[in-house]
Amino acid sequence: MKDAFKQAFPEISILLDEPLMNYTFTKTGGPADVLAFPKSATETKALVDYCRENDIPWLVLGNASNLIVRDGGIRGLVIMLSQMTKVSVKDTLVEAQAGAKLIDTTYAALKENLAGFEFASGIPGSIGGAVFMNAGAYDGEIKDVFASCEVLFADGTIKTLNHDEMNFSYRHSAVQDLGAIILSARFQLKKGNHEMIKARMDELTALRQLKQPLEYPSCGSVFKRPVGHFTGKLIQDAGLQGMKWGGAQISEKHAGFIVNIDNATATDYVELIAYIQKTIKEKFDVALETEVRIIGEE
Protein backbone atom coordinates (compact mmCIF):
# COMPACT_ATOMS: atom_id res chain seq x y z
CA MET A 1 0.00 0.00 0.00
CA LYS A 2 2.71 2.48 0.98
CA ASP A 3 4.86 2.20 -2.14
CA ALA A 4 1.72 2.26 -4.28
CA PHE A 5 1.14 5.88 -3.27
CA LYS A 6 4.52 6.95 -4.61
CA GLN A 7 3.84 5.12 -7.86
CA ALA A 8 0.34 6.57 -8.22
CA PHE A 9 1.37 10.15 -7.41
CA PRO A 10 4.93 10.80 -8.63
CA GLU A 11 4.20 14.54 -8.80
CA ILE A 12 3.32 14.80 -5.09
CA SER A 13 5.87 14.84 -2.28
CA ILE A 14 5.20 11.65 -0.31
CA LEU A 15 7.03 10.28 2.74
CA LEU A 16 6.62 6.78 4.19
CA ASP A 17 6.62 5.92 7.92
CA GLU A 18 7.37 9.55 8.68
CA PRO A 19 7.45 10.55 12.40
CA LEU A 20 4.79 13.21 12.93
CA MET A 21 6.79 14.63 15.84
CA ASN A 22 8.75 16.38 13.07
CA TYR A 23 5.65 18.48 12.31
CA THR A 24 3.54 18.88 15.47
CA PHE A 25 4.00 21.97 17.62
CA THR A 26 4.38 19.73 20.70
CA LYS A 27 7.28 17.86 19.01
CA THR A 28 5.53 14.58 19.85
CA GLY A 29 3.71 11.95 17.82
CA GLY A 30 4.29 8.60 16.14
CA PRO A 31 4.67 7.83 12.43
CA ALA A 32 2.22 8.27 9.58
CA ASP A 33 2.11 5.26 7.26
CA VAL A 34 1.98 7.68 4.34
CA LEU A 35 2.40 11.46 4.55
CA ALA A 36 1.52 13.51 1.45
CA PHE A 37 1.99 17.20 0.67
CA PRO A 38 -0.39 18.18 -2.16
CA LYS A 39 0.15 21.55 -3.83
CA SER A 40 -3.41 22.16 -5.05
CA ALA A 41 -7.07 21.31 -4.58
CA THR A 42 -6.82 19.03 -7.61
CA GLU A 43 -4.00 16.99 -6.06
CA THR A 44 -5.83 16.84 -2.72
CA LYS A 45 -8.97 15.54 -4.41
CA ALA A 46 -6.94 12.92 -6.31
CA LEU A 47 -5.47 11.61 -3.05
CA VAL A 48 -8.90 11.38 -1.40
CA ASP A 49 -10.39 9.68 -4.48
CA TYR A 50 -7.55 7.13 -4.43
CA CYS A 51 -8.16 6.37 -0.75
CA ARG A 52 -11.89 5.96 -1.28
CA GLU A 53 -11.40 3.64 -4.28
CA ASN A 54 -8.85 1.52 -2.40
CA ASP A 55 -10.55 1.57 1.02
CA ILE A 56 -7.61 3.36 2.70
CA PRO A 57 -8.24 5.56 5.78
CA TRP A 58 -7.13 9.19 5.49
CA LEU A 59 -7.16 12.40 7.45
CA VAL A 60 -5.92 15.96 7.09
CA LEU A 61 -3.59 17.97 9.29
CA GLY A 62 -3.34 21.73 9.00
CA ASN A 63 0.00 22.86 10.37
CA ALA A 64 -0.44 20.60 13.43
CA SER A 65 -0.46 23.46 15.94
CA ASN A 66 -3.51 22.70 18.13
CA LEU A 67 -3.03 18.95 17.90
CA ILE A 68 -1.67 15.91 19.73
CA VAL A 69 -0.80 12.81 17.69
CA ARG A 70 -0.55 9.74 19.91
CA ASP A 71 2.71 7.80 20.01
CA GLY A 72 1.36 4.94 17.88
CA GLY A 73 1.00 7.31 14.96
CA ILE A 74 -1.64 7.22 12.22
CA ARG A 75 -2.51 4.40 9.85
CA GLY A 76 -3.29 5.05 6.22
CA LEU A 77 -2.75 8.44 4.58
CA VAL A 78 -2.10 11.75 6.32
CA ILE A 79 -2.52 14.81 4.10
CA MET A 80 -0.68 17.97 5.09
CA LEU A 81 -1.72 21.12 3.24
CA SER A 82 1.39 23.10 4.18
CA GLN A 83 2.30 23.63 0.51
CA MET A 84 -1.08 25.24 -0.26
CA THR A 85 -0.27 28.74 0.99
CA LYS A 86 -1.48 31.26 -1.61
CA VAL A 87 -3.15 34.42 -0.24
CA SER A 88 -4.80 37.04 -2.44
CA VAL A 89 -6.73 40.24 -1.79
CA LYS A 90 -9.43 41.81 -3.96
CA ASP A 91 -11.06 44.98 -2.67
CA THR A 92 -12.05 44.06 0.90
CA LEU A 93 -12.12 40.28 0.37
CA VAL A 94 -9.14 38.17 1.43
CA GLU A 95 -8.86 34.65 -0.01
CA ALA A 96 -6.38 32.11 1.37
CA GLN A 97 -5.62 28.48 0.67
CA ALA A 98 -6.05 26.14 3.62
CA GLY A 99 -2.33 25.73 4.30
CA ALA A 100 -1.62 29.45 4.52
CA LYS A 101 -0.58 30.58 7.98
CA LEU A 102 -3.20 32.60 9.79
CA ILE A 103 -0.55 35.12 10.86
CA ASP A 104 0.65 35.59 7.27
CA THR A 105 -2.94 36.15 6.14
CA THR A 106 -3.47 38.89 8.71
CA TYR A 107 -0.35 40.65 7.43
CA ALA A 108 -1.62 40.38 3.85
CA ALA A 109 -4.74 42.17 5.06
CA LEU A 110 -2.64 44.79 6.83
CA LYS A 111 -0.70 45.48 3.63
CA GLU A 112 -3.99 46.43 1.95
CA ASN A 113 -5.17 48.48 4.97
CA LEU A 114 -7.97 46.05 5.78
CA ALA A 115 -9.32 45.90 9.33
CA GLY A 116 -11.14 43.16 11.24
CA PHE A 117 -8.53 40.41 11.25
CA GLU A 118 -6.27 41.89 13.92
CA PHE A 119 -7.44 39.44 16.60
CA ALA A 120 -5.85 36.55 14.66
CA SER A 121 -2.42 38.12 14.22
CA GLY A 122 -0.90 36.01 17.01
CA ILE A 123 -2.67 32.68 16.44
CA PRO A 124 -0.13 30.12 15.13
CA GLY A 125 -2.50 28.02 13.06
CA SER A 126 -3.32 27.51 9.40
CA ILE A 127 -6.34 28.95 7.64
CA GLY A 128 -7.94 25.53 7.28
CA GLY A 129 -7.46 24.68 10.94
CA ALA A 130 -8.63 28.10 12.07
CA VAL A 131 -11.87 27.85 10.09
CA PHE A 132 -12.35 24.20 11.11
CA MET A 133 -12.32 25.10 14.81
CA ASN A 134 -13.55 28.71 14.61
CA ALA A 135 -10.30 29.86 16.17
CA GLY A 136 -10.35 33.02 18.23
CA ALA A 137 -8.49 35.28 20.60
CA TYR A 138 -8.89 38.68 22.27
CA ASP A 139 -12.66 38.92 21.72
CA GLY A 140 -12.50 37.97 18.04
CA GLU A 141 -13.36 34.74 16.22
CA ILE A 142 -13.10 33.49 12.65
CA LYS A 143 -16.89 33.63 12.35
CA ASP A 144 -16.71 37.42 12.71
CA VAL A 145 -14.91 37.83 9.36
CA PHE A 146 -15.72 34.57 7.53
CA ALA A 147 -17.46 34.83 4.15
CA SER A 148 -17.23 31.34 2.59
CA CYS A 149 -14.99 28.35 2.03
CA GLU A 150 -14.38 25.54 -0.45
CA VAL A 151 -14.77 22.11 1.06
CA LEU A 152 -13.84 18.67 -0.30
CA PHE A 153 -16.12 15.88 0.85
CA ALA A 154 -15.14 12.24 1.26
CA ASP A 155 -17.19 11.29 -1.83
CA GLY A 156 -14.97 13.55 -3.94
CA THR A 157 -17.40 16.44 -4.39
CA ILE A 158 -16.27 20.02 -3.81
CA LYS A 159 -18.79 22.55 -2.49
CA THR A 160 -18.80 26.15 -1.35
CA LEU A 161 -20.19 26.71 2.14
CA ASN A 162 -21.37 30.17 3.19
CA HIS A 163 -21.40 31.64 6.67
CA ASP A 164 -24.85 30.33 7.61
CA GLU A 165 -24.02 26.81 6.46
CA MET A 166 -20.97 26.66 8.74
CA ASN A 167 -23.03 26.72 11.98
CA PHE A 168 -20.22 28.41 13.88
CA SER A 169 -20.14 28.23 17.65
CA TYR A 170 -17.39 28.32 20.28
CA ARG A 171 -14.44 26.37 18.79
CA HIS A 172 -16.80 24.59 16.40
CA SER A 173 -17.85 24.63 12.76
CA ALA A 174 -20.04 22.36 10.65
CA VAL A 175 -16.94 21.00 8.91
CA GLN A 176 -16.07 19.11 12.10
CA ASP A 177 -19.25 17.08 11.65
CA LEU A 178 -18.98 16.58 7.89
CA GLY A 179 -15.71 14.63 7.64
CA ALA A 180 -14.53 17.05 4.98
CA ILE A 181 -11.43 19.05 4.04
CA ILE A 182 -11.31 22.84 3.88
CA LEU A 183 -9.40 23.76 0.71
CA SER A 184 -9.59 27.55 0.88
CA ALA A 185 -11.54 30.31 2.60
CA ARG A 186 -12.58 33.92 2.08
CA PHE A 187 -12.85 36.65 4.66
CA GLN A 188 -14.81 39.87 4.41
CA LEU A 189 -12.93 42.77 5.96
CA LYS A 190 -13.32 46.55 5.85
CA LYS A 191 -11.08 49.46 4.91
CA GLY A 192 -9.16 50.90 7.83
CA ASN A 193 -6.20 53.00 8.87
CA HIS A 194 -2.89 51.22 8.34
CA GLU A 195 -1.19 52.59 11.46
CA MET A 196 -4.16 51.80 13.71
CA ILE A 197 -4.42 48.25 12.35
CA LYS A 198 -0.70 47.66 12.81
CA ALA A 199 -0.72 49.13 16.31
CA ARG A 200 -3.49 46.73 17.35
CA MET A 201 -1.68 43.76 15.81
CA ASP A 202 1.55 44.74 17.56
CA GLU A 203 -0.32 45.11 20.85
CA LEU A 204 -1.88 41.65 20.62
CA THR A 205 1.40 40.04 19.55
CA ALA A 206 3.13 41.62 22.57
CA LEU A 207 0.36 40.38 24.88
CA ARG A 208 0.74 36.87 23.54
CA GLN A 209 4.50 36.93 24.01
CA LEU A 210 4.05 38.23 27.54
CA LYS A 211 1.41 35.76 28.67
CA GLN A 212 2.05 32.56 26.71
CA PRO A 213 4.98 30.11 27.07
CA LEU A 214 6.30 30.52 23.54
CA GLU A 215 9.81 29.47 24.59
CA TYR A 216 8.74 25.79 24.75
CA PRO A 217 6.94 23.47 22.32
CA SER A 218 3.22 23.29 23.13
CA CYS A 219 -0.14 22.61 21.52
CA GLY A 220 -1.51 26.02 22.46
CA SER A 221 -4.55 26.34 24.66
CA VAL A 222 -5.38 22.81 25.84
CA PHE A 223 -8.93 23.25 27.13
CA LYS A 224 -12.02 25.13 26.07
CA ARG A 225 -13.12 27.81 28.51
CA PRO A 226 -15.86 26.35 30.73
CA VAL A 227 -18.93 28.54 31.19
CA GLY A 228 -18.46 30.88 34.14
CA HIS A 229 -14.82 29.98 34.72
CA PHE A 230 -11.28 30.59 33.47
CA THR A 231 -9.38 27.38 32.81
CA GLY A 232 -6.01 28.72 33.94
CA LYS A 233 -7.39 29.94 37.26
CA LEU A 234 -9.09 26.60 37.94
CA ILE A 235 -5.80 24.79 37.38
CA GLN A 236 -3.96 27.29 39.58
CA ASP A 237 -6.56 27.03 42.34
CA ALA A 238 -6.22 23.24 42.23
CA GLY A 239 -2.50 23.61 42.92
CA LEU A 240 -1.50 22.00 39.65
CA GLN A 241 0.45 24.79 37.95
CA GLY A 242 4.04 23.74 37.33
CA MET A 243 3.25 20.03 37.72
CA LYS A 244 5.43 17.72 35.62
CA TRP A 245 4.32 14.47 34.03
CA GLY A 246 7.16 12.71 32.25
CA GLY A 247 8.66 15.35 29.98
CA ALA A 248 5.48 17.47 29.93
CA GLN A 249 4.69 20.30 32.34
CA ILE A 250 1.72 22.52 33.11
CA SER A 251 3.25 25.85 32.15
CA GLU A 252 4.46 28.04 35.00
CA LYS A 253 3.73 31.04 32.77
CA HIS A 254 0.14 30.15 31.78
CA ALA A 255 -1.66 27.24 33.44
CA GLY A 256 -3.87 26.69 30.39
CA PHE A 257 -0.84 25.44 28.43
CA ILE A 258 1.12 22.20 28.65
CA VAL A 259 4.72 22.51 27.46
CA ASN A 260 7.29 19.98 26.35
CA ILE A 261 10.27 20.67 28.61
CA ASP A 262 12.19 17.39 28.37
CA ASN A 263 11.50 15.15 25.37
CA ALA A 264 7.89 14.56 26.34
CA THR A 265 5.86 11.87 24.59
CA ALA A 266 2.29 12.24 23.40
CA THR A 267 1.38 9.76 26.15
CA ASP A 268 2.79 12.21 28.72
CA TYR A 269 0.49 14.88 27.29
CA VAL A 270 -2.61 12.70 27.13
CA GLU A 271 -2.15 11.33 30.65
CA LEU A 272 -1.51 14.78 32.10
CA ILE A 273 -4.61 16.14 30.38
CA ALA A 274 -6.69 13.31 31.87
CA TYR A 275 -5.24 13.97 35.33
CA ILE A 276 -6.08 17.69 35.09
CA GLN A 277 -9.64 16.88 34.00
CA LYS A 278 -10.10 14.39 36.84
CA THR A 279 -8.70 16.79 39.46
CA ILE A 280 -10.77 19.80 38.34
CA LYS A 281 -13.92 17.69 38.26
CA GLU A 282 -13.27 16.35 41.77
CA LYS A 283 -12.33 19.71 43.31
CA PHE A 284 -14.74 22.10 41.56
CA ASP A 285 -17.28 19.87 39.78
CA VAL A 286 -16.30 21.49 36.48
CA ALA A 287 -15.84 19.33 33.37
CA LEU A 288 -12.94 20.56 31.26
CA GLU A 289 -13.36 19.82 27.56
CA THR A 290 -10.28 19.68 25.38
CA GLU A 291 -9.78 22.34 22.72
CA VAL A 292 -6.75 20.49 21.36
CA ARG A 293 -7.51 17.59 18.99
CA ILE A 294 -6.11 14.22 20.10
CA ILE A 295 -5.77 11.71 17.26
CA GLY A 296 -3.88 8.56 16.31
CA GLU A 297 -3.20 5.21 17.94
CA GLU A 298 -1.84 4.39 21.39
User: Which of 80, 110, 138 corresponds to the end of one domain?
Assistant: 80
Sorted by sequence, the CB contacts under 8 Å of residue 184 that are 6+ apart come out as: 41, 84, 95, 96, 97, 98, 127, 149, 150
Nearest to 152 by CA among 128, 181, 126, 174: 181
| Domain CATH for 64 | 3.30.43.10
| Domain CATH for 144 | 3.30.465.10
Residues 98 and 200 in one domain: yes
For residue 1, pLDDT beyond 90:
no
For residue 218, pLDDT beyond 90:
yes
pLDDT at 166: 97
User: Which of 80, 103, 118 corresponds to the end of one domain?
Assistant: 80
pLDDT at 2: 81
Q: What is the greatest pairwise CA distance in the chain?
A: 56
Residue ranges making up the domain that contains 271: 214-295
pLDDT digits (tens, 9 = 90+) for 108-160: 999 999 999 999 998 888 999 999 999 998 889 999 999 999 999 999 999 99
Residues 93 and 201 in one domain: yes
Residues 102 and 134 in one domain: yes
Residues 57 and 73 in one domain: yes
**pLDDT level of residue 195 (50, 70, 90 thresholds):** very high
Pick the catalytic residue: 65, 126, 221, 251? 221
Residues 133 and 197 in one domain: yes
Residues 282 and 231 in one domain: yes
Least confident of 10-14, 59-63, 216-220, 232-236: 59-63
The rounded distance, in Å, linking the Cα atoms of 81 and 181 is 10
Residues 116 and 51 in one domain: no
Domain count, the chain: 3
The rounded distance, in Å, linking the Cα atoms of 176 and 93 is 25
Residues 110 and 204 in one domain: yes
Pick the catalytic residue: 118, 121, 171, 218? 171
pLDDT digits (tens, 9 = 90+) for 70-115: 999 999 999 999 999 999 999 999 999 999 999 999 999 999 999 9
Q: Residue range 176-196: average pLDDT?
A: 96
pLDDT at 137: 86
The question of whether 291 is a catalytic residue gets the answer yes
pTM of the predicted protein model: 0.91
For residue 241, pLDDT beyond 90:
yes
**pLDDT level of residue 212 (50, 70, 90 thresholds):** confident
Residues 253 and 185 in one domain: no
pLDDT digits (tens, 9 = 90+) for 248-269: 999 999 999 999 999 999 999 9
The rounded distance, in Å, linking the Cα atoms of 169 and 72 is 32
| Domain CATH for 291 | 3.90.78.10
Residues 206 and 112 in one domain: yes
Residues 164 and 270 in one domain: no
For residue 164, pLDDT beyond 80:
yes
**pLDDT level of residue 64 (50, 70, 90 thresholds):** confident
Residues 200 and 270 in one domain: no
User: Which of 169, 193, 210 corresponds to the end of one domain?
Assistant: 210
